[in-house]
Structure 1
Amino acid sequence: MTTTLITGGNRGLGYEVARRLIDAGQTVWIGGRDATGGQEAADRLGAQFVQLDVTDDASVESAAARIEGRVGHLDVLINNAGILGEVAAPEDMTADQLRDVYETNVFGLVRVTRAFLPLLRKGTDPSVINVTSGMGSFTLTHDPARVESQYTLAAYGSSKSAVTMLTTQYAKTIPDIRFNAVDPGQTATAFTGNVGQTVAEGAEAAVRVATLGAAAPTGTVTDRAGVLPW
């Protein structure tokens, strides 16, 4: 049975991905900072919960040790945890505002990936799925026909550009593990102010890649419609 960890899996998009993967027969761990809320979410889903703050080395290492002790391996890691951060015009944006977003969206992804690589190498057809965004796409943010062009989110958008590049670099240099990035698109959750497509639609890209098993590619960037332009 496939064992999957989803960071930020206690609400929103991560929660829906967890629900769908459990329905598909996977054993799902959801990671979150809030122990009480996270455990309640896990109980509702029929998932396992591990306290995990992606911005904290000790928390990530503790989560990896717990899963290793309980399961001994990991097959799929979904780096879903992310924040929008404080929105500011680029000319007014401070380094600290940028740093806050990168600490979760970029450095957190690297921290979690590095900590769980040993467990993934013990898994079956190991796969890492990084949740990116069309807001990090140079093509889409300059296409007036796309919703991504309507927003100015310098910190968040640039962090997701970094997520996509990191994904391709991992894929090029770690051939024994599959690395792919997925864009849920503008999805109606608390993160977006409940604007956009349904959560079920937003979860499709991650669920698709997470259930491919041995057929999963590596180094791809997709949304629910197919290849995402960058």
Structure 2
Amino acid sequence: MNNTTKRTALVTGANKGIGLETARQLADAGYVVWIGSRDLDRGRAAAEALSAHGEVRVVALDVTDEDSVRSAAAEIGAAHGSLDVLVNNAAVAMVEGEGPPSAVDLETVREDIEVNLFGPLRVTQAFLPLVKKSPEGRIVNVSTKMASLSPLADPESIQRAAQKAFPIFAYPVSKTALNSLTGWLAAELADTPIKVNSVCPGVNKTDMNSDPSGSHPSEGAKVAVRAAMLGADGPTGSFFDIDGPAPW
């Protein structure tokens, strides 16, 4: 990417966890980083915590609210006129009502899809005009290998075994839909410089995951930052983790 001008990035859900670490690493790389946060006070606190790392700003952004998203796009557009990187990180994993397909609460599925699919879609539609004005726009959708469909067809796969041991449906299927958005959007933008990819940050210790074996969120953020900083010869319409390609 061109290093002669100050590049800009928006990370949704960036007041904590992987989003905060993604913002930190992009600021370290010289980007003007916007922290998108539903709670403006928490967003301001996060931006202040990162102030030593570079130019970090905050914008009120609720990915489930059309007016909030469009207002954020207008604010960032007025400040810069374009956006180089959009990281769709904001997500939920509802616990209440979660379960296998035969038992999951439909409202839980709706809530996960509202945030994890409709949220990134809403944000992308609002910010795409700004990304198109960047000479090398990047869109990064933070996903999970739990969303992968191909391993579920293999009786010996670790993912299939995990689904039997810890059967959940709403969260994975919402991320499967997000991966579909990645593929369709990459195809739509194939004749532009914009690159659209899904990334899996792996198991990280965050509010959404209390697994004691999880990595620090800074580790998970590395793959999102890698996708955000892809060169012109990098992939688009791909799904990968820190080690390389992930199965669809």
Tell me if TM exceeds 0.5. yes
Q: TM-score, normalised to structure 2's length?
A: 0.87
Q: How many residues align?
A: 230
Report whether the alignment pairs 1:112 with 2:123: yes
CA 1:13–1:147: 2 relative to 1, 3 Å: farther
Counting only pairs closer than 5 Å after superposition, residues 105-184 of structure 1 correspond to structure 2 as 105-140=116-151, 143-144=157-158, 149=163, 150-175=165-190, 176=192, 177-184=194-201
Aligned counterparts of 2:179 and 2:120: Cα–Cα separation in 1 = 11
Aligned counterparts of 2:236 and 2:88: Cα–Cα separation in 1 = 15
Q: Secondary structure at the match of 1:191?
A: coil
Cross-structure match for 1:224: 242
Cross-structure match for 1:211: 229
CA 1:166–1:228: 2 relative to 1, 3 Å: same
Q: TM-score, normalised to structure 1's length?
A: 0.94
Cross-structure match for 2:3: none
| Alignment deviations for residues 153-196 of structure 1 (CA, whole Å, 9 cap, x no partner) | 20000011111111011001112221100000111112101531
Residue segments in structure 2 that go unaligned for 5+ positions in a row: 1-5
CA contact (8 A) 1:130 1:167 kept: yes
Report the Cα offset of residue 80 of structure 1. 0.3
Residue segments in structure 1 that go unaligned for 5+ positions in a row: none
Aligned counterparts of 2:24 and 2:88: Cα–Cα separation in 1 = 16
Report the Cα offset of residue 203 of structure 1. 1.2
Moved more, 135-144 or 70-79: 135-144
Cross-structure match for 1:85: 94
Cross-structure match for 1:36: 41
Report the Cα offset of residue 134 of structure 1. 0.9
| Alignment deviations for residues 14-60 of structure 1 (CA, whole Å, 9 cap, x no partner) | 00111111111111101010010111101111210000000000000
CA 1:152–1:82: 2 relative to 1, 3 Å: same
| Alignment deviations for residues 112-155 of structure 1 (CA, whole Å, 9 cap, x no partner) | 00000111111120010000111111244562378954532200
Indicate the structure (1 or 2) with the bigger Cα radius of gyration: 2
Report the Cα offset of residue 217 of structure 1. 2.0
Q: Secondary structure at the match of 2:158?
A: coil
- Structure with the higher fraction of residues in helix conformation: 1
CA contact (8 A) 2:99 2:105 kept: no
Cα-Cα RMSD? 1.7
Out of 109, 113, 134, the position equivalent to 1:102 is 113
CA contact (8 A) 2:89 2:142 kept: yes
**Ranges of 4+ aligned residues in structure 1 off by more than 4 Å:** 145-150
Aligned counterparts of 2:50 and 2:84: Cα–Cα separation in 1 = 19
Quick one: which amino acid aligns to residue 241 of structure 2? D
Q: Secondary structure at the match of 1:4?
A: strand
Out of 172, 187, 194, the position equivalent to 2:204 is 187
CA contact (8 A) 2:37 2:61 kept: yes
